[in-house]
A and B are shown apart, each in its own frame.
Chain A
């Protein structure tokens, strides 16, 4: 099944914890992205990697650190979680930067 997959699907954690979300795509795409969708459904890009190289880094707290071990994976690590980090995080990929993006199912993060 060719797709963009994310784990976990749901993540409930306490403030101050560190957590990671994993993303994998088997579409052979060069570019991967992380987006945050807030409670009002507003969708905003956080990061983009092209062939394991960071190419977009929006104004995101440095508690968020993406890591791309290879071009098929882009993981998101979040340190010292805060209440405001509660959101749905979407991973996406595209054949190359600027092309149609294919989204993962999302990870619903709830910080208590």
Chain B
């Protein structure tokens, strides 16, 4: 069964450093998403992406964040200058349709900012 994959599974970085989290969505999916979950809290939406454009972003997704689909298979989330409060589990998800369809989630990348 096709699945969303994410790398790395765990990333440790120093405050102020740039990080890139990588995702490979399910191959025929058209819509891509990033969510995050601070430890012990609920999952929060960050951004959605379709046709090489951001379709929606949350208040969390400020200028420090960016997304890119650099080729036909990868989808990346970049945090330009990490802060302590960026420590969280980051989930990538994908779906074939926008609304009335299952969003399939990857296993997550645990980001720790020291």
Co-assembled chains A and B: no
| B interface residues with partner A (beta carbon < 8 Å) | none
Chain A residues engaging chain B, CB cutoff 8 angstroms: none
